[in-house]
Structure 1
């Protein structure tokens, strides 16, 4: 199976609702027709099998049709973060070898299209009303033979450790991940996924769109996460599944009265660590699961997930168990497996793991050495097989010979009633090598200061882990997926 065929697995009637966007509803029959028309359009402008097609869109159905249509035409899709500046877009286009870019009109307004001329692009398509009308008049596409193990997309990592790397993912990678998610859930055609996470992000693309299509569910798409708008949808519409990042759940928990959601029965958190007190508070308030998982673009992306059943064991602070298709273990610097409870690097193996990084053979060999994906995340496993992310390997602070994991400090600070958000980093210190610094966002009206927070931490952390430097800020820098950008703080 290929990703542009996922909707055919659902075996729902053609008139079953597939996508809701603003006042427009698309049925599964319409989606199938539109994917084929977009494929025919790409073929008409000279896109051939193996060509790279870059997409720059906010959330909208046309992004899905463009992705699936280009895939059906045999192209490799290169999703672009819509917040990238032209210089960053240029790097990815050149690195990926893309010869076609499709741009939403809202994005086109912000880009100097004359500058795209230096990138040797064969096609610069602005998907405006005229272009869409032309696509709707297209006839059937020409069949292109595509094998499931062929690469279908390059997903560029956020570049926290240097220049973005293009993770090459096959159709099989995504299919394996989607089937594993189906195996551990009871979701189906009667469900309605709310998609507010950006579609260019692998978490949103796999869990909201690909899984939704595979199940025959409805997918309600919003352009972005706007708290009041999201709350209105959750309270008035039949949304049953909501995927978000921790900051979204923290905001909703403050806004919503108990029992206010109309049909929501499952919330899934990913993209960043979920503080245990947010999870506990959310579940106590609304009496349904807020399930934390773990993934990364290189794994298509979901690899670990807490059980989804309402009465299953979910451990606060844990990212759960490996999906049925995934093997996971904790290793030391020599790739020797560590025993239960010891902290090391999390490595993964399974059919959802990328084939490598585009044009980076050395980085690929290093990351996939021994047949295991080395995630760069420090983690540990408990006696029940549940995994806990301790921190990014490269974010670990070494203070006078002691290891300090920012995640541990952040979780402790978030337990203070005045703290809304926090990010902990290491800063240079001439004596200790590094010192612990905390950037803190206080809740509205709160007045906690450095001394109060340090005293609060005395019974929670070893003294060397307690930040010596505090900076109180109105907000923390985040990327489009809601993940805190520590590299900007550093």
Structure 2
């Protein structure tokens, strides 16, 4: 099944609202007209099967129309992080050999518009009101023969270890992931997903759009996460499913009273590690699941998820169990599986796994060696088959021969009542190789100092794991999905 066929399977639900955005509503009966017009418009500009179309757009219905229209024209769609600089955009254009970019006017406020003309692009489509009208006049879409196992998307990774890599994903990869999520849930056409996370991000796209369209559910789109607006929407509209990042759920615990959610019945956390106390606090207060999962661009993207049912077991701190479409295991540096409870690298295998990185055969071979996707994440598995992320392999701190996993230290710090957020990194030390440093954001109106926090950690962590250096800051640098950007801290 192609990604644009997800909504086409809902012909019996033509009166169901597919997209809500501000005062606009688009039904499943109307959605094909929009996607076909965008596909036809791209075809009129010379976009052919296998061409690459870049999207640089904030959350809006046009992002969805352009993404699916590009796929329906047979092109490979490349969504861009809105935080990309012009230099990063130029890199992706060159690396992918893209000739077409769809850009929203709001993006042009943050970059020099003239710079686009210096990139080797054939089509620069500025998605203003005139362009939207022009697109909808195109009704002559020419069907393209596309196989399910053909690439439909390049998802460029964040590039923490160098230049971004384009993970090549097929229609079948997305289908496997969405069908697997459907298998383990009781979600359906009556559900309404609130989308405040950026659509260019893999988690938001897969769950808020592809899964919702497959189910025949409604997607209520917001430009971005705006606390007051998000709160009012969750409390006053018929939102049943909400995908967010941990900081949003911490905000909801503070701001919402017990019993105020009228329709909300499932919350899914992704994009960054969910502190166990946030999950426990949320579920105890609201009495419905806050589910943590795990995914990455290379897995289309969800690979492991806690059970979604209200009476099923969710373990705080755990990312859950593998989806039905893939397998997981923990291996050592020689790719041998380690015993239960031991830390090693998490590897994955399944029908949702990418076919490789664009133009990077050596990276592909290294990452997909022995038939398993090597995630670069350190993890462990318990006796019930639940997985726990310990840290990024590359974030691990080696201190005098001992391994320190920053996430373990961060979670311990987060248990202190004065600590709002914590980020731990390794800094150079001429005697030990590395030393542990913690960046701390305190709760409003609360105080704590280095000695107090070190004393608090004394019974929770081995002495060598306790940070020696503390820096108290007003905020931590984060990506649009709430992930702390440790590269900037370092």
Q: Same fold (TM over 0.5)?
A: yes
Match of 1:472 in 2: 472
Give runs of aligned pairs for residues 250-289 of structure 1, distance below 5 A: 250-289=250-289
* Structure 2 residue 2 is the aligned partner of structure 1 residue 2: yes
Structure 1 SS opposite 2:154: strand
Match of 1:29 in 2: 29
Q: How far is the alpha carbon of 1:454 from its aligned partner?
A: 0.5
Match of 2:195 in 1: 195
**Aligned residues, how many?**
490
| Equivalent pair of 1:328/1:347 in contact (CA under 8 Å) | yes
| Equivalent pair of 1:332/1:338 in contact (CA under 8 Å) | yes
| Equivalent pair of 1:377/1:393 in contact (CA under 8 Å) | yes
Work out the CA distance in 2 between the residues paired with 1:261 and 1:353: 36
Q: How far is the alpha carbon of 1:439 from its aligned partner?
A: 0.3
Match of 1:58 in 2: 58
Give runs of aligned pairs for residues 32-43 of structure 1, distance below 5 A: 32-43=32-43
Work out the CA distance in 1 between the residues paired with 2:435 and 2:259: 44
Match of 1:486 in 2: 486
Match of 2:434 in 1: 434
Q: Which moved more, 1:297-306 or 1:11-20?
A: 11-20
Work out the CA distance in 2 between the residues paired with 1:141 and 1:208: 26
Q: How far is the alpha carbon of 1:417 from its aligned partner?
A: 0.5
Give runs of aligned pairs for residues 289-368 of structure 1, distance below 5 A: 289-368=289-368
Work out the CA distance in 1 between the residues paired with 2:462 and 2:10: 53
* Structure 2 residue 396 is the aligned partner of structure 1 residue 396: yes
Structure 1 SS opposite 2:6: helix
Work out the CA distance in 2 between the residues paired with 1:311 and 1:48: 49
Q: How far is the alpha carbon of 1:120 from its aligned partner?
A: 1.2
Structure 1 SS opposite 2:77: strand
Once the two structures are superposed, residues 149-170 of structure 1 have per-residue CA deviations (whole angstroms, 9 ceiling, x without a partner) of 0000100001111111100000
Match of 2:225 in 1: 225
| Equivalent pair of 2:54/2:101 in contact (CA under 8 Å) | yes
Structure 1 SS opposite 2:30: helix
Once the two structures are superposed, residues 399-458 of structure 1 have per-residue CA deviations (whole angstroms, 9 ceiling, x without a partner) of 000000000000000000000111000000010000000000000011111111010000
* Structure 2 residue 263 is the aligned partner of structure 1 residue 240: no
* Structure 2 residue 109 is the aligned partner of structure 1 residue 120: no
Q: How far is the alpha carbon of 1:115 from its aligned partner?
A: 1.5
* Structure 2 residue 458 is the aligned partner of structure 1 residue 443: no
Match of 2:171 in 1: 171
Structure 2 SS opposite 1:435: strand
Match of 2:412 in 1: 412
Match of 1:68 in 2: 68
Q: How far is the alpha carbon of 1:113 from its aligned partner?
A: 2.4
Work out the CA distance in 2 between the residues paired with 1:159 and 1:261: 39
Match of 1:454 in 2: 454
Match of 1:139 in 2: 139
| Equivalent pair of 1:437/1:469 in contact (CA under 8 Å) | yes
Q: How far is the alpha carbon of 1:10 from its aligned partner?
A: 3.0
| Equivalent pair of 2:240/2:265 in contact (CA under 8 Å) | yes
Once the two structures are superposed, residues 280-317 of structure 1 have per-residue CA deviations (whole angstroms, 9 ceiling, x without a partner) of 00101111000000000100000000001101011010
| Equivalent pair of 1:12/1:216 in contact (CA under 8 Å) | no
Structure 1 SS opposite 2:138: coil
Q: How far is the alpha carbon of 1:11 from its aligned partner?
A: 4.2
| Equivalent pair of 1:12/1:189 in contact (CA under 8 Å) | no
Work out the CA distance in 2 between the residues paired with 1:153 and 1:43: 18
| Equivalent pair of 1:11/1:216 in contact (CA under 8 Å) | no
> Can you give the 5+ residue segments of structure 1 that lack an aligned partner in the other structure?
none
Work out the CA distance in 1 between the residues paired with 2:143 and 2:322: 37
* Structure 2 residue 375 is the aligned partner of structure 1 residue 379: no
| Equivalent pair of 1:9/1:215 in contact (CA under 8 Å) | no
Q: How far is the alpha carbon of 1:178 from its aligned partner?
A: 0.1
Q: How far is the alpha carbon of 1:278 from its aligned partner?
A: 0.4
Match of 1:186 in 2: 186
Work out the CA distance in 2 between the residues paired with 1:162 and 1:229: 37
Structure 1 SS opposite 2:29: helix
* Structure 2 residue 86 is the aligned partner of structure 1 residue 82: no
Q: How far is the alpha carbon of 1:251 from its aligned partner?
A: 1.3
Structure 2 SS opposite 1:318: coil
Work out the CA distance in 2 between the residues paired with 1:33 and 1:278: 42
| Equivalent pair of 2:10/2:28 in contact (CA under 8 Å) | no
Work out the CA distance in 1 between the residues paired with 2:380 and 2:467: 24
| Equivalent pair of 2:379/2:389 in contact (CA under 8 Å) | yes
Work out the CA distance in 2 between the residues paired with 1:109 and 1:483: 25
Q: How far is the alpha carbon of 1:119 from its aligned partner?
A: 1.7
Work out the CA distance in 1 between the residues paired with 2:168 and 2:113: 27
Q: How far is the alpha carbon of 1:13 from its aligned partner?
A: 2.4
Structure 1 SS opposite 2:107: helix
| Equivalent pair of 1:340/1:383 in contact (CA under 8 Å) | yes
TM-score by length of 1: 0.99
| Equivalent pair of 1:168/1:354 in contact (CA under 8 Å) | yes
Q: How far is the alpha carbon of 1:136 from its aligned partner?
A: 1.1
Match of 1:47 in 2: 47
